[in-house]
Amino acid sequence: MDADNTRSACLAAEPAEAANDPGRRDFLKGALRLAGGAYVFFAGGPLAEGEVPGEGYDWTEHRYAYLIDTEKCIGCGSCARACAAENDVPDGFFRTWIERYVVGVEGSHVDSPNGGKDGFPPVQVGFEATKSFFVPKLCNHCKETPCIQVCPVGASYRTKDGLVLVDGERCIGCAYCVQACPYGSRYLHPVKHTADKCTWCYHRVTKGLRPACVEVCPTGTRMFGDMKRENDPVRLAIEHERVSVLQGHLRTEPQTYYLHLDKEVR
Amino acid sequence: MEHARHVFRAVLVLVVALAAVSIGRGFLVPRSYGLHGPYRYDNVKEQMAVRAPRHGGAASCAPCHAEKAAKRTAGAHRNVSCEICHAPLSRHVAEGKRTEAMPIDRSYLLCARCHRKVLGRPEKFPQVALEQHLSEMGAGPAEGKVCLDCHDPHSPKP
């Protein structure tokens, strides 16, 4: 009871005092609020700039998507070699790679020697293989991606045309994103010491070219498309075919879609 | 008068603090940060211009190599880009001028990357088990032989 009385007395006393003479405490309170307001007011205005990132390219007019038909892949590794040549990917690191799945009732075997860059050698497995296939992998450019969420410096971001990119200048190389990516799509660049990953060849696609891996794929396994373009083959396939994504249960909403994906593929 | 002095001091402290914050912020926050989200918007432009495209696509070879290009588009390798077996265009041509010879790989391994019979490839895809293929063709042992002895890479038999 005592405590309650004292509190109500304080509450009653304060406004009365403030009305007569603003004490030091109230003055400082007000000043701090003013300062906060001023800070927000001044901080809210970064330099205004044009909408268009580059000459002749409007990123609001595109939303890219990638489609992989695993039934067509022959495991030649041309894509991984082209990617390395196009993007200066250091040896032993991969922006895209190919996995081979050899599956039987008794077991399964997955390999990806040098990311599939040199093709695939014959393989012996200790069970009776009933099916085998190749699965190309790359960054899924997820809509709800954990890699951006964990970046402490705003180096990873998603563009308006639907890519996840890494700002090498902002990146401090903490590798949180490398850990966060459930697809293993990122690596720490051994020379630059910043996170690196597939960009869907942003320097090509913004010029109307296809990513290097799609450009060289001899079987049409890899397809690149624009969801904002009508009659785009990739858009039509995603809209009308039975497509799936890797690790859909994680709800990362990948924008790299797969046709004819097997349950063994993670 | 006492109050006025206090007010003046407090305002001075505030003004100095505000100035320090806004100047510090100007140095620490990149120019285009926050324009479209919590990232440096200038990086989008940097990524677009990170380098000139290196792969030109199969069509870029035809102006100089019309004969080979026509042969390729007529044959079973019509979907096999020149740059798969040779190298990216940028290694060979810069600003419309020839810079360096394109590598020509005549080894068995080049063909083997696609056509060696291994687990994983689709069954319909033409695959070769070398020893078996040579004995079927009556071509003798594999030593010293390459696919290109018999096959034309620009237009192999289907």
At A50 the pLDDT is 46
Strand partners, A99: A135
> Looking at the predicted structure, is the pLDDT value of residue A250 above 90?
yes
Do residues A187 and A115 touch, judged by C-beta distance below 8 A?
A: no
What is the DSSP code string of A79-124? HHHHHHHHHTPPTT--SEEEEEEEE-SS-EEEE-GGGGTT------
What distance in Å separates the CA atoms of residue B66 and residue A153, rounded to the nearest whole number?
Answer: 51
> Looking at the predicted structure, is the pLDDT value of residue A16 above 50?
no
> Looking at the predicted structure, is the pLDDT value of residue A8 above 80?
no
The larger pLDDT score, comparing residue A180 to residue A34, is at A180
Q: Classify residue A177 by burial, with Cβ atoms within 10 Å: 0-12, 13-18, 19+.
A: buried
What average pLDDT is seen over chain B?
92
Q: How does pLDDT run across B129-140, given as a tens digit for each residue?
A: 998 899 888 877
Q: Is B95 left (phi over 0), alpha (psi -120 to 50) or beta?
A: left
Amino acid at A104: G
At A42 the pLDDT is 55
pTM of structure? 0.84
- Fold of the A59-259 domain: Alpha-Beta Plaits (3.30.70)
Q: Residue A159 is encoded by which pair of tokens?
A: 């563009």
Considering only the beta carbons, identify the residue of B10, B18, B31 that sits closest to A47.
B31
User: CB distance A215–B113 less than 8 Å?
Assistant: no
The residue whose two tokens read 């990617």 is: A83
Q: Which of A251, A218, A235, A246 is nearest to A62 (CA)?
A: A235
Query: Any idea which of A33-37, A180-184, B99-103 has the lowest mean pLDDT?
Result: A33-37
At B141 the pLDDT is 79
The larger pLDDT score, comparing residue A24 to residue A48, is at A24
At B80 the pLDDT is 96
Q: Which of A28, A32, A120 to mutate to test the interface with B (most CBs of B within 10 A)?
A: A120
Q: Can you tell me the mean pLDDT for B74-78?
A: 94
DSSP element (H, E) containing A239:
helix A233-240
At A28 the pLDDT is 77
Q: How does pLDDT run across A207-232, given as a tens digit for each residue?
A: 999 999 999 999 999 999 999 999 99
Nearest-CA residue of chain A relative to B16? A35
What distance in Å separates the CA atoms of residue A263 and residue A261, rounded to the nearest whole number?
Answer: 7
Considering only the beta carbons, identify the residue of B11, B41, B120 that sits closest to A100.
B120
User: CB distance A122–B116 less than 8 Å?
Assistant: yes
**What are the sequence ranges of the domains in chain A?**
2-43, 59-259
What average pLDDT is seen over chain A?
89
Is the Cβ of A98 closer than 8 Å to some Cβ of chain B?
no
Q: How does pLDDT run across A121-164, given as a tens digit for each residue?
A: 999 999 999 999 999 999 999 999 999 999 999 999 999 999 99
Q: At what angle do helices A24-43 and B2-28 cross, to 10 degrees?
A: 30
Angle CA(A72)–CA(A78)–CA(A79) in degrees, nearest 5? Answer: 80
Q: What's the full length of chain A, in residues?
A: 266
Per CB-CB distance under 8 Å, the chain A contacts of B31 are 46-47
Q: What is the 3-state secondary structure (H, E, C) of chain B?
A: CHHHHHHHHHHHHHHHHHHHHHHHHHHHCCCCECCCCCCECHHHHHHHCCCCCCCCCHHHCCCCCHHHHHHHHHCCCCCCCHHHHCCCHHHCEECCEECCCCCCCCCHHHHHHHHECCCCCCCCCCCECHHHHHHHHCCCCCCCCCHHHCCCCCCCCC
Do residues A76 and A218 touch, judged by C-beta distance below 8 A?
A: yes
> Looking at the predicted structure, is the pLDDT value of residue A241 above 50?
yes
At B96 the pLDDT is 86
Q: How does pLDDT run across A28-70, given as a tens digit for each residue?
A: 787 778 776 665 555 544 444 445 556 789 999 999 999 999 9
